[in-house]
Every structure is written in structure tokens, then in C-alpha cells.
Chains A and B, each alone.
Chain A
């Protein structure tokens, strides 16, 4: 096996071990459940109650919102939690690269988000008239969206905080404003002009668009653009995460 292949194999193995560890330790932590699961449920109820909106029309938005909150909830928790529990130092002194550790964090966010977003899909299909017309687009939206959201979560965990609540606060400062300009509650085409200008800077806009297309609703962006943008967001956010985590570590924090 070539040296490059061995390196990649080693990195992939490390990422999988980290993802498994995160799943065992953090999926059921209260902050993950509160910010990842309860938040979107209450947002949905707030949006739906008392409004004359067909339930099936908001199912894609609900799926996108659950994905947004769940996939990006794991990353901000893991690093500060490990710092506080004093397990972080031992982890980074293991023969695993920082990139591999962060890839594991992204992977655990991806799996958490993708699995939990199946719940609103199933509920939507069972209780409303919503129908999946293109499973590939729906699955692509969920997987690519989860990847970019999880990368965002890992990037947000870079500041040297040892308290998960501080990082959760920071992550909500980023996640909540983006939620409102991403066409989750209202299709982007129906949003005011200024919001339509901001929508393209949010990965949630593209994931929401793909998911909406999967449910047979009209897409706002061209079909090729959303996967490309989500892949680009993932690459840039993960690169930023590696860079900032490395900087924090280099400063001994």
C-alpha cells in the first residue's frame, strides 16, 4: 500500500473512532437534545399554530430546520466538553491528526442530523398530504446539508472555551439569524428583497431548496447549484475549522 493510501486509511480510521466515541458520549447530552431537538419542534409549533398554512407545505422546511439544528449541535459541544472534562489533552496526544479528530466530529454531526431528520420526514408523510417525489434529491439535501452544517458546528467550537454553554451561545448567534433568511419558514422567492440577497450566504438555503425539490415543491436555485454550494460550504467550513482549531492549540489553549 502506498504511503498516501496508508495515511488516508489511518485518517479515516481515526475519524471513525472519534465519531463512535462522540456518539456514545454526546448524542444524549442535554445541550444536544435541547438545542438540537427541542428548538426545532418549538419553532415549528410557533410558526404553524393559528396560521392558515397547509401542513404539507411546511414539511420540507421542518425537515431542513431539524437537520440544521441537529447536525450543527454536536460539534459545538464536543471540544469544550472535552476541555472541561480534561479528556481533550489525552485525545490530541494520541497518534491521530487534528484533522482526523475534527473529521470525526463532523461525521458524528452528520450521522446525528441525518438520522433525526428522518423523524419529521416520517411524521410528515404519515400525518399530512406531503409526498416524496424525488428521493435522491431529498437524500442528497439531507446528507450534503448535514455535512456542511456539521462542519459549521465544528468551526464554531474553535474558540478556546471550556464551557459548552459559551460555545452554544455563540453557535445560536450564528444559527438563528441564518435560519430566518434561508427559506425555511417562507420559500425564498416569497421573502422580501433584502432577505433574498442574504439567503445565498447560508448553507441552509441550499439544503432547504434540495429538500423542497425532493418533496416536489418548486426550487429557487438551479438544480446543479445547491449540491455544488453545499460541497463548497463543507470544504471551506472544514478548512476553517482545521485552521482555527490548530491556532487555538498552537497558543496552548
Chain B
């Protein structure tokens, strides 16, 4: 698989603070790569280094083989960027905003006009070409930002919190368009706080905490990391075994009651489920529902970052 981005020992310090600490990862061609982390973890600083806004203190990265320090313009030629804290030019028309970014990328006039028209149509902004960007809602401005990022036909799209604070319709449209573009070969680097979005869209996810990468894998594999967050969920039609009996079952670490359901946290959900069925049979209890559950990406995220012992889990 070809790596579009290769990051090696990337570090950024602001005075005494190390915002990003020797980060290493690769983003492969055609994948949607999620970059997750709590506030202040170093996500945006990493993106700002990769997109040439700030220089790394140490280490480097390549985009399509171009070193971001030695060949910054060649590296940026391949990128479309929707930064987190960014805006369109409010006093320019929708059309002029799109054309401006096309011109800055050196897209020939005929192609940028055709592509601009196509992108605005795709984003539902075709009717608003002559409107000043100031007149657009936040959701429409974000769609316009995406148009300006895509008009040059980039191979790699950076999206920093693209749906944060948007209405449901705009967020859904943006996700759908990104998915479609990805299907057509666009590589996407997605930074988000929205775990459902990451779970839904990303082929692989990196989790950064306190400037260091604590995990990189597919969402499925990441769920396996948080083994202690796996559980067996069970409900009984009438009655229930005692807490002591449940805690004595194979692999059970703790039992949590949620309404009429019991969650048995275990690192061996299959064996625990079998033991639980045996217990119910022995006590003559009718099981209403029994299933083994992996943790959600949100639970993995909290496990790896919130408790601060992510490395231990690896």
C-alpha cells in the first residue's frame, strides 16, 4: 500500500510546552484516516505542521514524497485543506471564494471554472454563486470551505473538525460527499471529536494524547485494545442470580446494573457468557436476552486517554 503521508519523529514545542512529541504514523492512499484526541492533545498542531502553517521543531513528514520542510510548496500542491479555525472571505461572493483558491493553486481557468461549477452544484450552492459569503449560514459556509478545498482536485484532503457545530443536514451532506470522494480515490485525513463520525467514516484511527500517539489501528482492532471494557449484557425474565454468584463467574471483573439489565465486564466475554448460561440453567432462571459486547470507539477513546494509562493497555 502506498503511503501518501509519512510522519517521522514530528515534534513541536512552544517554549517549555511540548505540544507534539515525536509523533510517527503513515496515511495510506485511498483511506480515511481519523485523528482523534482530547482538547489540547496536539491534533491541530500536527495538522498545522503537515499543512505548512507552522514549522516542526524536530522531525519531518512527507506528502507524496515531498518533504514538508524542504519542498513545502510541492507538498502543499497535493492538499486540499479545511482548517478548524478558518473562514471563507465574507466580503467576496461564493463564486469568487472558490475561484480565488483555484487561482492560488494554479488551476487553469477553464478547469477551475468547470470544477467550481461542479463542486458548488454538489454542495447545493449552485444557486448562491453571486451571494456574498457573509449571507451564508454556518453550515453553508462550511460547505463553501469544502468547495474551495476541492476545486484544485487535491489527492489528499485535510478536514479539521469539519462538522463541528453544524446542523444535521449540512453535517450529513458533508459526510456523504467526503465518503463519495473517498470512494473515487481521495485520501482523507479527518480530525474530529465526534466518535460516531470517526467510527462511521474512518478506515484507520490514530489516537493522540498529551502530544503522543497512544494507538493506531482500525476501529475494530482498537475496540479489542480496551479488553477490560468488553462486557456481557444479560437480562432475566424473572429473578436474577446474586451479585456474588455473578462475580464468581469465569473472567468477570465487575458487575454493573443498568435498569433490568446486568453488564458483566470481562476480558473473556465468550467464556463468561457460557458460564452465565450454566448458572441460569442451574438456578432455573429464564434468560430474556444475552449478548457479548465490544466497547464503542468512544469507550476506547476514554480508556486510552481519559484514564491516562493508554500505554498500559497496549
Contact = CB atoms under 8 A, between A and B. Distances in A.
Interface of A: 10, 13-14, 17, 21, 24-25, 85-87, 89-97, 249-252
A25 B106 contact: no
Contact of A93 (B55, B76, B87): B76
18 contacts: A13-B106, A21-B92, A86-B87, A87-B89, A89-B48, A89-B85, A91-B104, A92-B53, A93-B53, A93-B76, A93-B83, A94-B101, A94-B105, A95-B74, A96-B73, A96-B104, A249-B55, A252-B14
Given A21-B92, A87-B88, A89-B85, 19 more contacts: A14-B104, A21-B89, A24-B92, A85-B89, A86-B85, A86-B86, A90-B81, A90-B83, A90-B87, A90-B148, A93-B51, A94-B101, A94-B105, A95-B76, A95-B104, A95-B106, A250-B55, A252-B14, A252-B45
Contacts, number: 75
B92 A94 contact: no
A188 B5 CA distance: 60
B52 interface: yes
A93 B52 contact: yes
A93 B154 CA distance: 13
The interface residues of chain A, by DSSP majority, are classed as helix
B86 A10 contact: no
Contact of A17 (B76, B103, B148): B103
B128 interface: no
Q: Across chains A and B, which 8 residue pairs bring their CB atoms closest together, nearest first? A: A95-B76, A86-B87, A94-B104, A93-B51, A17-B103, A252-B54, A95-B77, A90-B86
Nearest to B50: A93
B3 interface: no
A97 B89 CA distance: 20
Interface string B246-273: 0000000000000000000000000000
B86 A249 contact: no
A95 B152 CA distance: 11
Contact of B105 (A85, A87, A95, A97): A95
Nearest to A96: B104
B77 A17 contact: no
B91 A25 contact: yes
Interface of B: 12, 14, 45, 48, 51-55, 72-74, 76-77, 79, 81, 83, 85-92, 96, 100-101, 103-106, 148
Contacts of A86: 85-87
Nearest to A29: B91
Contacts of B91: 24-25
Contact of A87 (B14, B72, B87, B106): B87
Nearest to B54: A252
B85 A10 contact: no
Contacts of A85: 87, 89-90
A84 to B, nearest CB: 10
B89 A89 contact: no
Contacts of A89: 48, 53, 83, 85-86
B48 A252 contact: yes
Contact of A21 (B12, B14, B76, B100): B100
Contacts of A95: 73-74, 76-77, 79, 104-106
A94 B79 CA distance: 8
A145 to B, nearest CB: 29
Nearest to B149: A90
A14 B79 CA distance: 17
Given A89-B53, A252-B48, A97 B73 contact: yes
A80 to B, nearest CB: 15
A195 B195 CA distance: 67
A89 B82 CA distance: 10
Contacts of A97: 72-73
B52 A92 contact: yes
B85 A17 contact: no
A25 B105 CA distance: 20
A24 B72 CA distance: 28
B127 to A, nearest CB: 22
